[in-house]
Structure 1
Amino acid sequence: MTSRIYHGTGPGPITPDGCAVDYYATLTAGGEPELIHAAVPPRASILELGAGTGRITHPLLELGHEVVAVDESPEMLAHITGAETVCSRIQTLALPRTFDLVLLMSFVVETADDDLRAAFLRTCRRHVADDGCVILQRKPPEWYDTIQPFERRADDGRTVRMTDIGRPGPDLLEATMEYVIGERRWTHTFVSRRLDDDRLSRELDQVGLTVSGFLDDDRGWVRAVPR
């Protein structure tokens, strides 16, 4: 199913879910680590699922947390320093320990593969401590109704575009992202599913988690705890 809902092109390694390693290695955090830090105890143990090249891992380490970074791409993990790394698919991960926080961000939970999302959530529940929490990042549900093609040019010279937006089914969005830095150009095509509050609550409940709140006003950052 992964090959049908994700596709990526461009120079350098491309992960199974279509992400360009060389492009992700250029990205920096934009306030996410501080948001997460404020939601968990000091020096919390964190399991970061889909850590990529460490854009969030490294700032969390600097904030005093112990981070285990998981990604299925060894090329992504090669960019991470200072944290324990585990090369594994999220859905099959089975570590012999639990964590104060299990973190699943970058909208991974919005995969259009419903069975895969359920497996992601089971991994979250399997690895969160009884008194810990899971933090998920999703697009605010309203985003799916309003998003249009766009182009953004940053001060550092990079260009980000969203093109080819389609809606192949109820609550589904298909789009292509294009990233340009100098002469390098990458694309990432994906299909994602809207997760409104009711649907997300039901799916969390099925794996033994319940929504306990949101980290931001637009409800994009969801905090869940074990039942």
Structure 2
Amino acid sequence: MRNSATGPGPISPDGSPVHFYSVLGITGEPELVAQVTPRGGSVLELGSGVGRVTHPLIENGFEVVAVDESAEMLALVRGARTVRSRIEDLRLDRRFDTVMLASQLANTVAEEDRLRLFEACARHVRPGGAVLIQWMPAEAHDRWRPGMGRSDGDVTITMAAVEEVSPGIYHATMRYTYGRDGEDKVWTQSFSSRRLSDEELGAGLAAAGLRLERFLTEDRTWLVAVPAS
């Protein structure tokens, strides 16, 4: 199933509604980056989108290179070098203190594509650097229910539907609402998520030349990997 979305404005190639992500706030990502990156260090943000995380990182003194496949997304990024590219195809002639791969991309692609994502991280992190990855632990899928979600000011995010379509493969649809000045804008975004065990995650990292060092958050959705040698 290819990711898809409906609603006003442009939709990125991975199915993300650009206008919605431009009004969505951050949820602690800059603080996580600061935990693993030296002060004033360099950050390669893979799948940066509209710059939700990019902009506070720059404000905190980090040098950021923002990579995304969507020209519409990158047009909203300010203060960082931007590179339009699929993550899997990225080959920059430099390495970074931290490489960041957010948005549970590791779960939304097939095994061979997940390896290519991890390889892109590995070839751009410096020796002694960190790869910061967001993923969906296997047990987190057990909590998915239609109707679950959260509200933050003018933004509401709700899981409209979820189904395990084959063992370990889930199809979900999110409903996003942004209301201001008495007018609501509504989007949907559908995607697939694959249930990964810790062992499968570790094996994928190892195949790319990385090693799982530790989980960075209590819910285990963020982890730190380092070059294996």
Question: Taking structure 2 as the reference length, what is the TM-score of the superposition?
Answer: 0.93
- What residue ranges of structure 1 are gaps of 5+ in the alignment? none
Instruction: State the one-letter code of the partner of 1:139.
Output: M
Counterpart residue number, 1:187: 188
Instruction: State the one-letter code of the partner of 1:173.
Output: Y
Counterpart residue number, 2:36: 39
Aligned length: 224
Instruction: State the one-letter code of the partner of 1:219.
Output: R
Aligned counterparts of 2:148 and 2:224: Cα–Cα separation in 1? 31
Aligned counterparts of 2:144 and 2:44: Cα–Cα separation in 1? 31
Matched-pair contact (CA < 8 Å) for 1:201–1:210: yes
Counterpart residue number, 2:48: 51
Matched-pair contact (CA < 8 Å) for 2:137–2:198: no
Q: How far apart are residue 64 of structure 1 and its match?
A: 1.2
Q: Structure 2 vs 1, CA of residues 155 and 58 (structure 1 numbering), >3 Å: closer, same or farther?
A: closer
Aligned counterparts of 2:49 and 2:67: Cα–Cα separation in 1? 8
Secondary structure class of the residue paired with 2:49: coil
Counterpart residue number, 1:22: 19
Counterpart residue number, 1:205: 206
Aligned counterparts of 1:164 and 1:191: Cα–Cα separation in 2? 12
1:62 has 2:59 as partner: yes
Q: How far apart are residue 103 of structure 1 and its match?
A: 0.3
Aligned counterparts of 1:165 and 1:127: Cα–Cα separation in 2? 35
Instruction: State the one-letter code of the partner of 1:200.
Output: L
Instruction: State the one-letter code of the partner of 1:220.
Output: T
- Which residue, out of 70, 74, 78, partners 2:71? 74
The residue correspondences of 1:110-125 to structure 2 (distance < 5 A) are 110-125=107-122
Aligned counterparts of 1:112 and 1:81: Cα–Cα separation in 2? 29
Query: Quick check: 150-159 or 71-80, which moved more?
Result: 150-159
Matched-pair contact (CA < 8 Å) for 1:175–1:191: yes
Aligned counterparts of 1:225 and 1:159: Cα–Cα separation in 2? 35
Counterpart residue number, 2:218: 217
Secondary structure class of the residue paired with 1:162: strand
- What residue ranges of structure 2 are gaps of 5+ in the alignment? none
- Which residue, out of 133, 138, 141, partners 1:141? 138
Query: Quick check: 79-88 or 26-35, which moved more?
Result: 26-35
Secondary structure class of the residue paired with 2:55: helix
Q: Structure 2 vs 1, CA of residues 218 and 156 (structure 1 numbering), >3 Å: closer, same or farther?
A: closer
Q: How far apart are residue 40 of structure 1 and its match?
A: 1.8
Aligned counterparts of 1:159 and 1:29: Cα–Cα separation in 2? 14
Counterpart residue number, 1:150: 147
Secondary structure class of the residue paired with 1:25: helix
Counterpart residue number, 1:6: 3
Deviations 1:85-128 (A, max 9, x none): 00111010010111111100111121132222111111011111
Instruction: State the one-letter code of the partner of 1:12.
Output: G
Matched-pair contact (CA < 8 Å) for 2:36–2:130: no
Q: How far apart are residue 188 of structure 1 and its match?
A: 0.5
Matched-pair contact (CA < 8 Å) for 2:11–2:17: yes
Q: RMSD between aligned alpha carbons?
A: 1.4
Deviations 1:166-222 (A, max 9, x none): 112222211000111233111100001122211100000001000011111221111
Aligned counterparts of 1:122 and 1:99: Cα–Cα separation in 2? 14
- Which residue, out of 96, 112, 137, partners 1:99? 96
- Which residue, out of 80, 83, 102, partners 1:83? 80
Percent identity of the aligned residues? Answer: 46
